[in-house]
Structure 1
Amino acid sequence: MVATRSFKLVILLLLCTSLTVLLAESAPNQQKDTYNYDEYFVEKTILKNAVSKGAVQFQREEDGDVRECQNRSTTSFGSSKHMPPFKFRGHFSNNKNANPNLFNWNKVMVAYCDGGAFTGDVETVDPDTNLHFRGARIFSAVMEDLLSKGLKDAKKALLIGSSAGAYPAMFYCDRFSKLLPSTPRLKCLTDSGYFIDVNKNLQKGKGFETIYKALVTLHGSVKALPKSCTSRMKPELCFFPQNMQQYIKTPLYTIMSPFDIVQVGTSLGDYYNAIKQNNCSANQKENLRELRLELLSKLPNASDTKSRGAFIDSQFHHTRLQNYWKPQNVSVVNNVV
């Protein structure tokens, strides 16, 4: 990836594995998907010098289960050694008709499966499993590599995180901005990661706070989280976007569904089959309505249009930009998508 023209960059923090960066030029020569003209595959690039900096990580399950972490370290969910080519599509396609706004941008997918939102920085290696929890060092190593390849010359830059990748997109949003002091237009975006802490009377699942507390403990995440947040509340609460977003100075935008599959499953329990089969009970429908109202009430202040924005749909899905975005499916009303 070289800066031979006005350098525009999209960095994606998605769900895959660690120590892997996928690079795509605006006119790549990748393997084409024969079933969809706006999709293409990108081979992985390993940052070999990252290991010398301690940037080593294996996947862990989000409930803090080290055994599950060890199991996943032998799969594509936990090791870049087993990772297949990644498919770029939707907002990350290089097809002008399918992706008119970003088709000619440089795109980098920072493959994420450290299980700790790139916040881990534990020096001690687990003696029984040889697992490392150093996601924060991975992020630093990736940024250093990209800066040397032209990122520092970017005229426009987006830091996008989907699903669990939304957390580092928030946590490192201001840091990303500071790394690019000469970039005139820079924004951050979270896609399907604005998970909320629901009313205890509504919560039927284990909830996100339990997950976050285990994550912070296992990964030693406190020092990677912004002190502006951890000085005011427990570190696990800083993982809630409703709490974290108020401490972010860089423009931040959110794409989320009140009926996000992960949010519903974690907060309300197993509604998947009932929703898919259009067979929800009256009680389930009421709970879903309440969940929607809770999300809307915990979004950023709507009056701050210069630094905050949100696109809220009502579909039962997860990760819209990568999996569901197509311009043919978009409706525009009063110049608003």
Structure 2
Amino acid sequence: MTAVYHALSRQHDASLAVAELAAQLPLAQISIVLFFCSSRYDLKQLAAAFSERFSDTQLVGCTTAGEISREGYEAGSVCAIGFHHAYFSCQAQVIEQLDGFDLLRAQRTITPLFAKLPQANHQHILALTLLDGLSSQEEVVLLQLETALGRIPHFGGSAGDNNQLRRTHVFFQKQFYSNAAVVILLQTALPFQVFSGHHLVPRAEKFVVTAASADYRTVYEIDAEPAATVYSRLVGCDPEHLTATVFALHPLAVKIGQEYYVRSIQRVNADGSLTFYCALGLGAVLTAMDNTPMLPALAALFADCEKTVGPPLFTLGCDCVLRRQELAERGLLAEASAFYHENQVIGFSTYGEHHEGVHLNQTFTGVMFGQPSIDTIEMEIPCDR
């Protein structure tokens, strides 16, 4: 018996793409289908096709800044994962209107989902979040959800729109939403390990944010100078030449405790300010970071997870779009795709990653599931379909 099923379509037509996915998935055996799609699709047509073909199946997903299929990096595709109901019991809910999200709303979201799961094996639960990547609400929403989740491991990613930075969407059941999030609880007897990692190390240079709007994730001044001027001087180019590739190769981070958390730049603005993918406040200290080789760091991260789960079944990954851009700049996309293929990675390129209530940038964050064993089969989660 297969615990998970993978599907991929590179069809440009939304209806044909969904039909191709449905043909690859045994829907009657699936607890939930999770998909990641290019924002180049006509989303109204895509939603209508999903409603027709997946009408009796729990269905969640989001738009991307690129997809990761069984074959590696994709662009302009839709890929999906079907979780077999003998191994996974899954419950999902959409959260609309993220502004002002508080702990009470978080509890009202999580508690009913938790109650619908089989009461046996409650220790085998993890949470996945998908969130509008241009909502600027990740920090607040993730913190409140993490509090409501308690000790349940939690990871996820922020939806993208192929680097257009216009509008991103999450999907729940029959429609796409903006300014929204989807929370999925997965209960399984399979071994799993939630993880997050990156390949960046701190340099000596440090800077202080001296004018900023945390609500808009925009830094106006660094060290009392226009933010873009200071950053351009650091990376050695003129402000008008700042691009996503430059941001990927020259990241900045804040230090919290003993850990460095990257705060990736999204764009440079006409007034010389910088807008980030994560919130930054007045007085934040930024550290310049260096890029070490990415793929050896990723291989070490996977090897560490395998110590916990044993031989891997597959990995669900949320991969920052700036990592993909760095790989492209260094000519390593094919090598990375081969690594993902060999390690059975499925996922998407994000506008931010979620790990244990924290909003991250330039990480590979996800969950690795181990292979079913005889003991696992005997512990099959009862189906609540």
Q: Which structure has greater strand proportion?
A: 2
TM-score (norm 2): 0.27
Which has the higher relative contact order, 1 or 2, with Cα contacts under 8 A spaced 6 or more apart? Answer: 2
* Structure number having the greater helix percentage: 1
